[in-house]
Amino acid sequence: MIDRIQHCIERCYLCAAACERCVSSGLLSPAGETMRDCLQSASQCATLCRLAAQYLAINDASARPLYPICAQACKACAAACAKHSVLSCRRCAETCRQCARLLKMLAA
């Protein structure tokens, strides 16, 4: 179980980083205005993933309801990012899908 938790912590931090790269790239892109939903979703997802990782790291059982919420944010971000052809968006979408799967498994 500890290995699974550690893997999820790492995946949450990777997801947060991918989301932040997506936001940074989007803000610099000439198409940034058309990516508003994607950027907002990625920003929210990054925040929730960092929070989930922190709670997982201290093994706080009271935070368990946060995991499905974070998984849903990851799914929403993946869907928003998948609409764009920008490389950082595609990578963010894939990373978010992987993180959502792991968080769902932990929440079950």
pLDDT tens-digit map of 79-104: 999 998 889 999 999 999 999 999 99
Instruction: Give the tens place of pLDDT for each residue, 31-55.
Output: 667 788 899 999 999 999 999 999 9
> How far is it, in rounded angstroms, from Cα 22 to Cα 8?
21
Residue 95 DSSP label = H
Q: Where are the alpha helices (DSSP H) in the chain?
A: 2-28, 36-58, 66-81, 87-107
CA distance 73 to 28: 23
Which of these, 77, 51, 43, 57, lies nearest to 5 by C-alpha position?
Answer: 57
Q: Please report the pLDDT score of residue 32 as a whole number.
A: 65
pLDDT band at 1 (very low <50, low <70, confident <90, very high): low
Span 8-25, pLDDT tens digits: 999 999 999 999 999 998
Which three-class secondary structure state does DSSP give residue 3?
helix
Instruction: Please report, as a single letter, which amino acid is at residue 24.
Output: S
